[in-house]
Amino acid sequence: MFVYKKILVCAALLAVISVRAQKIGPFKNGDRVAFVGNSITDGGHYHSYIWLYYMLHFPSERITCFNAGIGGDQVSQIYNRFDDDVLDKKPNIITLTWGMNDTHYFEWRRPDATAYMARLLDTTYMVYAKLEKKLQSLTDVKKILIGTSPYDETTKSNMQNLFPGKSSELSGIVDYQKQSAKKNGWGFIDFYHPMLEINQREQVKDSMFSLTPNDRIHPDNDGHMVMAYLFLKAQGLTGQPVADVAVDAASGKLNEHVNCVVDNLKTTGTSLSFDYLAHSLPYPLDTVARGWGNKKAQADALKYVPFDKEFNQEILSVKNLKPGNYILKIDDQLIGTWPAEAFASGINLAEQYKTPQYQQALQVSALNEERWDIERRFRMYQWMEWDFLRDKNMLYADNTAAMDSIRKDAPANPFVNGNMDNFSKARFENIREVWQQELELIVNKIYAINKPQKHRIDIALSGN
């Protein structure tokens, strides 16, 4: 009965996401999307993974995504920097997530933690009301509130950062955000409950499991891919194939071609060939753990969400091949050998790393990772400005006095120390200009090389 109830809860969550998708909708050509948040946005990958999907699936519809997160931010800090660090990017879409830092940490170990946190949250909600009013005034900007990824209070992976009560308070903030979105007619995407459900489900099998294994707070790369999956699902993009080709080998008939063009189809009893131009590229999930302190790879998310099944299908199916094993080549490159039955069921080319279209997509993915890395330099710079120098009345001073102040505090402040080297370069406008030029060069290159190419597909009986 317990398992059955969990299945119903999961199905209900996905149904809710599906309903919301009609309201949120996909990004469109020319959209400028600012992802606003705290360190989970600042140092995380979910927005980069989302943009990569658009780079590959809609190669001719150029959008721009901005990381507008700063580590450690509460909603009050987001409000303070909103004009200078969010609106300066001229977004026409803003996503906003907050709450992890607003529910605090060591305060939960106070004897009066519940009452104390209630007072803090009253102030938090008053500040959010001011930010909400500012968002309401942006009538030409689409707003999407995001219920934060969860704080994992139950994992046994470590005993650090254990703050009993925090997760319940964070859940309350997510409910509050949902109501704010409903009241204002804004979009709402819930990361919290689906990710919490994954944690609970997997911890039944392995108490050490967590989507936030390092500190209970920050998702690893697999967690960020789960977040990207939930976001794309909420946009209603489920089921849009990379391409779909179905051929009948016996009749030589093209039964289906979705999101692609197929020409020059030729068949014999034991072979067939055709020219193939897809309108999208496959999504190559990264198998390397990237980012400071991370141990999981983006591809590890496939264990928990059906991303490939729902968003990454490039199906080649051939019916009525004579029995035997068949060799698949694309542009004379050997891709693999499968029995006739496998071709009849359909082969997902998006999972075949040897295909030229997969290799093309890998280049886009690698460049997008370079873009993410450079953009992080700007976010580290903004952290120093807003979370350190602003309190010293040196916001954007960027002078020797600011540098001296940083050097003075660095030995006792690990966050300042960790960002000091980056700031020593970023404080110079000429350096930031070069970084910005690098970003623009990379994005321009991505949108120059992400256009699918025509390929020749050959299938032949092995041994012929």
Q: CB 7: neighbour CB atoms within 10 A?
A: 10
CA–CA distance, 303 with 209 (Å, rounded to integer): 12
Per-residue H/E/C for 61-79: CCCEEEEEECCCCCHHHHH
Strands (E), 268-355: 271-278, 314-319, 325-330, 333-339, 347-348
Asked if pLDDT for residue 230 goes beyond 60, the answer is yes
Over residues 215-226, the mean pLDDT reads: 98
What residues are paired with 314 via a beta bridge?
243
**What residue spans of 346-462 are helical by DSSP H?**
356-384, 400-409, 414-426, 429-449
Q: CB 31: neighbour CB atoms within 10 A?
A: 17
State the pLDDT confidence band at 16, using cuts at 50, 70 and 90.
Answer: very low
CA–CA distance, 307 with 229 (Å, rounded to integer): 7
Q: CB 168: neighbour CB atoms within 10 A?
A: 12
State the pLDDT confidence band at 9, using cuts at 50, 70 and 90.
Answer: very low
- Kindly report, residue by residue over 357-373, the tens digit of the pLDDT: 999 999 999 999 999 99
Task: Dig out the tokens for 347 from the structure.
Answer: 């082969």
- Kindly report, residue by residue over 20-56, the tens digit of the pLDDT: 333 699 999 999 999 999 999 999 999 999 999 999 9
- Kindly report, residue by residue over 54-63, the tens digit of the pLDDT: 999 999 999 9
Domains parsed from the chain with CATH numbers: 2-234 (3.40.50.1110), 243-356+451-461 (2.60.40), 361-449 (no CATH)
Percent pLDDT > 70 in the chain is 95
Amino acid at 49: Y
Amino acid at 297: A
State the pLDDT confidence band at 464, using cuts at 50, 70 and 90.
Answer: low
pLDDT at 463: 79
CA–CA distance, 65 with 41 (Å, rounded to integer): 12
CA–CA distance, 226 with 221 (Å, rounded to integer): 9
Task: Dig out the tokens for 315 from the structure.
Answer: 């199906």
**What residue spans of 410-462 are helical by DSSP H?**
414-426, 429-449
- Kindly report, residue by residue over 307-364, the tens digit of the pLDDT: 999 999 999 999 999 999 999 999 999 999 999 999 999 999 999 999 999 999 999 9
- Kindly report, residue by residue over 126-154, the tens digit of the pLDDT: 999 999 999 999 999 999 999 999 999 99
Q: Is 14 exposed, middle or buried (0-12, 13-18, 19+ CB in 10 A)?
A: middle
CA–CA distance, 348 with 346 (Å, rounded to integer): 7
- Kindly report, residue by residue over 71-110, the tens digit of the pLDDT: 999 999 999 999 999 999 999 999 999 999 999 999 999 9
What residues are paired with 436 via a beta bridge?
none
Percent pLDDT > 90 in the chain is 92
Identify which of 232, 220, 304 has the alpha carbon closest to the alpha carbon of residue 40: 220
12 or 32, greater pLDDT? 32
Over residues 435-462, the mean pLDDT reads: 98
